[in-house]
Chains A and B, each alone.
Chain A
Amino acid sequence: MRVVLAEDLYLLREGLVRLLEAHDCTVVAAVETGPDLLDALLAHRPDVAVVDVRLPPTNTDEGLQAALTARRQVPGLPVLVLSQHVEQLYARELLADGTGGIGYLLKDRVFNADQFLDAVRRVAGGGTAMDPEVIAKLLQQPARNVPLARLTPREREVLELMAEGRSNAAIGQRLFLSESAVGKHTASIFGKLDLAPSDDDNRRVLAVLAYLNVAA
């Protein structure tokens, strides 16, 4: 898997390169500024880009803007955005084009190498990886979303994991359920939220995120 990496802190950049290379990834470019990132993305067309939101020279949201610009030119270019903090606002902007291949995680998530690489692979495969913190904030707004209150606690757990972008198999593994049991839960959730069921994992995730009013 060919990866473009953008991170301005040397230690973290080197750490990420080591982590990725140890797991069968090739880091084709490791850059530290916004403009360099845009150039690298357009030049290398990587399988996935791992991007820090805040990059020099302005130290604002350069990384995010470069990723969004690149995705406008190369639709569906898989991008996994890392940040010290997560904002629904950024999640919306990333998901706005509705084409998938988007990840948005706290930097802390790299602590767990397995889960991090799972997210990288999912995004590279056109899937979605949303940070649990974003999803938790979305589900904490009962006043905005009445049907959510009709879900059972178990269904809420399933919905949370589904919104993070996980497949039925991954959800089952996480909750110690059989895949078919997870399937039943998802069907029930889709019924209660009035969503059209879908077999395609990715489309299903986007539908859930759209329902939660983050994606287009």
Chain B
Amino acid sequence: MFRSYALAPLRCVALALLAVFGFVASLPLMMAIGAVVTYPHVLQLVRRLTALSRWLAHTWSGVVIEPPYREGPVPAPLRRPDGWYEHDGQLFKTPHYPAFFLRMQWLSDDPATARDWMWLVLLAPIGGLIALLSPALVVAGVLLALGVTGPGRRALDDAGLIDLVAWPVLTMPGWAVLAAGVAAVVTGVLAGPALLRAHGRWVRTWLGHPGLTWWQSSGIGAWLRKGGHDTWKAALLLGLSLTGFAVFLLTVLLTLLSGGFGIAWLAYAIRPMLNQYRRLCVKWGGGEPMPEPYRQREAVPEPGPDGRYRVGRTLYATRDGAHRAGFFPWILGDPATWRDLAWMATAPLVAMVAVVPGVLIGAGYFGLFWQALFWPLWAVPFGLITDVWISPWYVWQLMTLGMPALNGVPGWLSIPIGLALGLLGVLLAGPVLRLITGSARLLLAPSRSARLTQRVEHLAQTRAEAVDAQSAELRRIERDLHDGAQARLVAVGLSLGTVEQLMDRDPAAARVLLAQARETSAAALAELRDLVRGIHPPVLAERGLADAVRALALDSALPVEVRAELAGQPPAPVATAAYFAVAEALTNAARHAQASRVGVDIRHTGGLLRVTVTDDGRGGAEPAHGGGLHGLRRRLATFDGTVALHSPLGGPTVLTLEIPCALSSPRTSTS
């Protein structure tokens, strides 16, 4: 009992020191993560540090914290039938590397990992503040009490600490100062265990199983979190835009040295980064997607009659040479290249804005507010050892160095000012992020002409594919008719001709031939029926998409549940494409997925026909293996439609088709 009170302030100091150590250690650890190989070891170290925090919370604060880490086996690498191991589209001879990557992914997917880092970098020091209250009171009390006595005051004077307590000691009666000092010490000691427990709970909030805390549940918590996230995002965009500016400077330099060739290479090399920037802007800033604005590279032209390739005004002897030479006109002739360069040149403007919330939060909250509160932790031992005493308001003093007007402001004011600046930073983070992402659109989004160019390219490609597909289809039909129904009708005609001759001479033989002719014509009909089904299913013509899919569902080997909400009919080509897509999906579900149930959902919302086919099979359907999916995507591309396949191992498999179209007249479907 007595012991716990006596030890509490010391334990508090130890916890605060541990927090500072964790913060300092996190920097090299973060750098070590960059070297991918060390990633698991770094995480192991981080987990040891947080485990120590948990253990201390248990033994000192009496707060039990269960480790929150994800359990269960780490996913094993996939061994292919050919003996190789696959990971992320790469093949490996041994399971070693895939296992490493999977383990890394598994570790970093664990939400507790992110929370560990948050704790180390941001939250442990904040918790340290709670712990520090108790020793701070004890130290302040002791200093006050010392200041009352003559020798004590001299000792303080010698140590340079007299300024800290000079004001109360010199202005108030000695007994009052002594009483205040004793009261501070007693309060500090008495509050010690309670503060330790509070610290333990703080640790549990972050390092235990994630429950709902005010940080997650309250409006203010959400606001602070969002502000923090927006600040990080703005900082990342800031880094990318500064990289862009550096590339711009490099481009200018290279242009001066090489006479212009550098532009093309650098502008080409920087494109992936700019595309990433575009994606981030859309992801964080919202709004319409920002596709890549670049032109497609034209194919090398066919060689002329003299066997040489013409690029611009130059003739090249080899295809390779022509290909290489085509690079420059391709990059330099693309307006998007110049818009990119213009953006990179103006990037410092972005940087100036992007830096605002980070600077406000960093300088205000972490600099003025947090530094001042944490000052005793390091400055007191530092002063005792070196006899150099640093003011608690040193950050403030540094900041006002250049501004004499602010010298008159008392240092303690920097604490509320810092807090206010930090809150202002949080407040500004959202608008700043929106401003950055919005302004990026001015130059980085495809211009109207780039969009039109891309549209034309897309249309030309899909039209060519559609024409190809159509002519292939016609050839198939011609072949089927030629070898099937047509040939059979010829046979029927022949039989009938023979029957005509045999009728009088040999009625029995004529009858046999007639029966044969009838069978042949029935076979021709059956073939025609199958052919028609493959071209345009009659039930689709008679009933429309919803009922045609229902008919398909009834014929499927699996139980299929069809939900269709269509107020009208989609255009015939769209309906046909959707019908055959569902037919293919049902066949696949029955044949490959080992599914026991299939659901088909058809609806039309927001100018989009959406068809979803879900099966409860084993999943793992790979678009790469299914040429069918590729064909489907190509067929739907003609209508600007899209296909998405989601098929995790173990299922369920969900195939989603979306085709923009309008519904025609309200021919209500019977359900």
Contact = CB atoms under 8 A, between A and B. Distances in A.
Contacts of B557: 140-144
Interface residues of B, number: 25
Nearest to A142: B557
Contact of B542 (A53, A88, A141, A142): A53
Given A60-B543, A111-B518, A143-B596, A85 B538 contact: yes
Nearest to A83: B538
Given A88-B554, A137-B555, A144-B559, A111 B521 contact: yes
Contacts of B555: 88, 137
A108 B542 contact: no
A89 interface: yes
Interface in A137-159: 137, 140-144
Nearest to A63: B542
A85 B559 contact: no
B121 to A, nearest CB: 56
Contacts of A83: 538
Interface string A76-90: 000000011101111
Nearest to A140: B557
Contacts of B670: 93
A88 B538 contact: no
A179 interface: no
A89 B550 contact: yes
Given A85-B533, A111-B521, A143 B558 contact: yes
Nearest to B555: A137
B417 interface: no
A201 interface: no
Contacts of B550: 89
B547 A89 contact: yes
A85 B551 CA distance: 12
A142 B532 CA distance: 27
Interface in A67-106: 83-85, 87-90, 92-93
Nearest to A107: B525
Residue with the greatest number of chain B CB neighbours at <10 A, chosen from A87, A107, A111, A140? A87
A166 interface: no
B558 A84 contact: no
B170 interface: no
Contact of A84 (B518, B538, B543, B590): B538
A87 B551 contact: yes
Q: How large is the interface on A (under 10, 10 to 19, 20 to 34, 35 or more residues)?
A: 20 to 34
Nearest to B556: A141
Contacts of B525: 107-108
B532 A85 contact: yes
Interface string B505-534: 000000000000010011001100100110
Given A88-B554, A143-B596, A60 B526 contact: no
Contact of B526 (A54, A61, A108, A137): A108
B474 to A, nearest CB: 22
Residue with the greatest number of chain A CB neighbours at <10 A, chosen from B521, B532, B538, B670? B538
Interface string A36-65: 000000000000000001100001110000
A95 B418 CA distance: 81
B539 interface: yes
B558 A89 contact: no
Nearest to B517: A111
A57 to B, nearest CB: 14
B520 to A, nearest CB: 11
Contacts of A59: 541
Interface in B557-592: 557-559, 590
Contacts of B533: 85
B529 A60 contact: no
B543 A61 contact: yes
A141 B525 CA distance: 25
Given A108-B522, A108-B526, A137-B555, 19 more contacts: A59-B541, A60-B541, A60-B542, A84-B529, A84-B532, A85-B532, A85-B533, A87-B551, A87-B554, A88-B551, A88-B554, A89-B551, A90-B539, A108-B525, A112-B518, A143-B557, A143-B590, A144-B557, A144-B559
30 contacts: A53-B542, A60-B541, A61-B542, A61-B543, A83-B538, A84-B529, A84-B532, A85-B529, A87-B551, A88-B551, A88-B555, A89-B547, A89-B550, A89-B554, A92-B554, A107-B525, A108-B525, A111-B518, A111-B522, A112-B518, A137-B555, A140-B557, A141-B556, A141-B557, A142-B557, A143-B557, A143-B558, A143-B596, A144-B558, A144-B559
- Give me the 7 closest cross-chain CB pairs, A-B, nearest first: A88-B554, A89-B551, A61-B542, A60-B542, A87-B551, A85-B538, A108-B525
Interface of A: 53-54, 59-61, 83-85, 87-90, 92-93, 107-108, 111-112, 137, 140-144
